[in-house]
Amino acid sequence: MPILPLEDFFRLPTRTAYQLSPNGRLISYMAPYRDRLNVFVRPVHAADSDAVQLTFETLRSVAGYMWADDDRLLFIKDTGGDENYQLFGVRPDGSDLRAYTAFEGVRTSLIDDLEEQPGYVLIGLNRRNPEVFDPYRLNLATGELQLLAENPGNIQGWMCDHQGRLRVATAVVDGVNTQILYRDTEDEDFRPVLTTNFRESVSFMEFTPDDKEVYAATNLGRDKSVLVRMNPATCEELELLFEHPRYDLGSISYSRKRKKLLMAYCTGHKEPVRHYFDEEERQLRERLQQHFPGRRFGIADTDKEEQAYLIYVGGDRTRGSYYYYLPATDSMTFIADLAPWLRSEALQTMHPVTYTTRDGLTIEAYLTLPDGLTPDTARHLPVVVNPHGGPWARDCWGYSSEVQFLANRGYAVFQMNFRSSTGYGRKFLEAGYKQWGLAMQDDITDGVRFLIDRGIADPARVAIYGGSYGGYATLAGLTLTPDLYCCGVDYVGVSNLFTFLQTIPPYWRPLLEMMYEQVGHPERDKAQLEATSPALHADAIKAPLFIAQGTNDPRVNKAESDQMVEALRQRGVEVEYMVKDNEGHGFANQENRYDFYRAMEAFLAAHV
């Protein structure tokens, strides 16, 4: 396979994040302007050349946007990656740009788009107290913020019914218990209706069409999270609607237009798991599949009347494409490729594989191989082991620019859903609690041994690279198994579990007792945290290391990387250190991504 330019993998998409206006007349998207993603709008049947540019950000890409109604779009942005998102609004013709929450050091979150209350949205702000978010109803015409409830200090989430009435709150009590609070009307006070240990989960997903009951995801009395119909006033389960023997419920699809529950969804090892409650929805997706045989697709957006759809089509060897679909005529119109310069035949297949850990757990993993090789034909390859961040997240089958870039450079790339990855049930999740650097790291090590035992990996040429928790796993791999890896790349990773727990963002502080249960307590588990903090064991590192960090990172403080670099340099261990002053938890600006991956490419070429 030809070596493709690095920039082809990491440059901004030509167009992305397509949405339809509620009336279906306009189509919006994000596209580059001065190397930053900005928001554009055009009539549905017009050309991109007729689009109106709504935002002109040059310091940092717009972080996200949405249609509030037919007359206004909302977008958010932060400063240098600090994640203190501010909310702005603009009309589709580019006029009346407004800064709704331009408060320094304050983070804005969207609670509800209030579709039944045109001209309003419900947002959360930690303006009064940086540790908690209060709900405000925002008048988009005047900018007036109406405080709907004052967070007593422990509420982590709010939920509205279909009429936009604030009816549900979720709270943390006693540090490690979660509580659902409910009210029938906004005139009432919230009252607690269920308290559980944080290891158990009940999550209201949508109100039923009559706003009297809820569809909820729950693992109470079970290992896997399932979908039930529930009485919100008592949290009594009324009906089991869907469960899967291997995977947690992932999401549901609900039609506001038809006021119906359409589908439940789980993330599988490769193929998605879909369970239909609506025959019309099943038939729609079967028709869509006929347009894209053998390809993966999803519904990206629809207009309010569900007469027009935007379809995203993707896979493991493409960044994807968007199409415009009219179900009444079953007509499909191509809109745009995200990366037309990348041809699928030049990219590599992501192979789902499984292996068994030393204590008998089955781990779902993904192996991407260079040069069209398969797991049966690959032999003695250089490997980049790539554990995911989170760690309470998971890797999925699909396209990854990092993975394809590394495979194009001749490396096998191995990603694994180690214990504590989400989606596999409560037992699998809890098997990783207080196991940073212990059983969680053993799962990664066992994956490397799996590749070596099968003859796929050259044991002398195994590198490890990860971001966030994956960066911690990289450092832990180099300190705890120093002979396993020939080098490592740590991207915004934790190095010292004590300082990490001391420097979390203020709005994580109500969750600190839970984090102590999941990661470890700095006093009760002091010996364990000392043993598994890589910065305290820099003397064990033999392999070369490359560290990259954003100055404004609110999650993993820059001091995490600084202390690791200092400890290594004092010992004369080779360590490269890249710091970007205008970035946070990961590099968003295109030129910084180029710098990082160019340095990584050279580092791996020198040491693998």
Distance CA 402, CA 593 (A): 11
**How confident is the model at residue 176, as a pLDDT?**
85
Q: Which helix (H) or strand (E) holds 460?
A: strand 457-467
Bridge partners for 325 per DSSP: 309, 332
**How confident is the model at residue 174, as a pLDDT?**
81
CB-based contacts of 44, cutoff 8 Å, min separation 6: 20, 24, 25, 26, 27, 308, 324
Check if the beta carbon of residue 365 is closer than 8 Å to that of residue 347: no
**What are the φ and ψ backbone dihedral angles of 280, each rounded to 5 degrees?**
-65, -40
Q: Work out the angle at residue 468's Cα, subtended by the Cα atoms of residues 159 and 534, and round it to the nearest 5 degrees.
A: 135
Q: Tell me: cis bond preceding 391? Omega within 30 of 0 counts.
A: yes
CB-based contacts of 505, cutoff 8 Å, min separation 6: 83, 554, 555
Check if the beta carbon of residue 597 is closer than 8 Å to that of residue 96: no
C-alpha closest to that of 497 among 463, 521, 478: 521
Count of other CB atoms within 10 angstroms of residue 377 = 10
Q: What percent of the chain has pLDDT over 90?
A: 92
Bridge partners for 37 per DSSP: 32
**How confident is the model at residue 516, as a pLDDT?**
93
**How confident is the model at residue 75, as a pLDDT?**
97
Tell me how many helices (H) and strands (E) the chain has: 11, 35
**Mean pLDDT for each consecutive 10-residue tract of the chain (608 residues)?**
94 97 97 98 93 97 96 96 95 97 94 91 95 95 94 93 95 89 94 93 96 98 97 98 98 96 98 96 97 95 97 97 98 97 97 98 98 96 97 97 98 98 98 98 98 98 97 97 97 94 86 92 96 95 95 90 91 90 94 97 98
The torsion defined by the Cα of 509, 514, 520 and 522, in degrees rounded to 10, comes to 40
**How confident is the model at residue 175, as a pLDDT?**
79
Q: Give the SS3 label for residue 411.
A: coil
The dihedral region occupied by 582, where left means phi > 0, alpha psi between -120 and 50, and beta the remainder, is alpha
* List of domains in the chain: 350-607 (3.40.50.1820)
